[in-house]
Amino acid sequence: MVFAGDQGSLDHIGLSPMLWQEQNARRMQILVVDDSVHIHHQLRTYFSAAGYENVSYVLSAAEAFEQIFYNDKRVANSVDLILMDIDMDGISGIEAVKRIKADPRFLDVPVVMISADTSTDSLQQAFDAGAVDYITKPLRKIEILVRVKSFLRVRQLTIELRKANDELQQLVNLDGLTHIANRRYFDIALHREWRHFRRSAPPLSLLMIDIDYFKRFNDRYGHLAGDRCLRKIAKVLSDVVKRPRDLAARYGGEEFALILPETDRCGAVAIAKRVLDAVSALRIEHATSTTGSQYVSVSVGVAVATDDPHKGSKGLIDESDQALYLAKQAGRNRFWVAGDLESNGDSSQYEETCG
């Protein structure tokens, strides 16, 4: 997408935004599906003269399926516009459009029908199948090129809008200071993982993490230093959790959370210890801390989901919060596992059961 502030990036290569968009459209993928070699030759001549670089030609719907699906429904080839003959041997153009549009990945890809049959019934079937327009035979160069340019532009705008929406959604889900997930997205993610847990009961763990004596830190070093501290802690937490579904989030203030799907008690304890060690390794001075360390430290509450239909995700949060409270009561700079009568932040007590 070209924003006003990006104009300079186009000016230095001598392109206006409109010309850049037109040239970009000519690099988009066009697929022609027609059982006439003559039509292929005619369109190849038109497109070549107009500067379209990426045009594929196939003689049947079956070949089209191979082209766009790579013989594997899970991997779709990129295609931005499909020109489809209605009347073909084997699978008809209308049936082909139905199958293509049944795949969510191609809902936004425009399909233009090519046909000598302009009867109302035929065109209605084509539109009902998912076609957006039709071109009549015999083909006329000006009509073909104008329609193609128009639909590629719409396709381009659709892609740019989706990208912009994705970027906006990421911003909505991120904490502005630390650039990790915010509380809103934490709630969404935990609800999703809890539903997955209830369906198939894989282990699910939650860690609540609080910076020890953070108010004292702010009072001593100032709020700018406090912000830097929060960003460093967030970076550490992001580095600790590496699997795609793991989530590090800022829960609020100086409190963070880690959602750990498919992580049992032993795995959660290992992560808690890794968090303590990683924060300690930052060696952020904290002269007013009374944890026994002269550096910034954290306390961690660990909770593991159990098969209790009455608890819900809020119950998991409550358990990890209670464990965090007990870690603080025990002197901070340690972790506590929900349900344990004693926990001193030393994972050695779990070595016998965790191996």
Q: What is the mean pLDDT of each run of 10 residues along the chain (355 residues)?
A: 38 46 72 95 94 92 87 67 93 94 91 89 92 92 93 89 83 91 95 90 93 96 96 96 94 96 94 96 96 94 81 91 95 91 58 62
The pLDDT, as a whole number, for residue 202 is 86
Just give the CATH number of 4-168. 3.40.50.2300
The pLDDT, as a whole number, for residue 1 is 32
The answer to whether the predicted template modeling score (pTM) of the entire model surpasses 0.85 is no
Cα–Cα distance measured from residue 78 to residue 74, given in angstroms and rounded to the nearest whole number: 13
254 as an active site residue: the answer is: yes
Q: Give phi and psi for 299, each to the nearest 5.
A: -115, 145
Secondary element (H or E) of residue 300: strand 298-304
Query: Choosing from 53, 63, 66, 254, which is the catalytic residue?
Result: 254
The pLDDT, as a whole number, for residue 39 is 95
The pLDDT, as a whole number, for residue 20 is 45
Q: Would you state the structure tokens that stand for residue 108, as one six-digit string?
A: 């936004």
Cα–Cα distance measured from residue 219 to residue 124, given in angstroms and rounded to the nearest whole number: 72
Per-domain residue ranges of the chain: 4-168, 183-354
Cα–Cα distance measured from residue 104 to residue 162, given in angstroms and rounded to the nearest whole number: 14
In this structure, which topology does domain 183-354 adopt according to CATH? Alpha-Beta Plaits (3.30.70)
The pLDDT, as a whole number, for residue 310 is 66
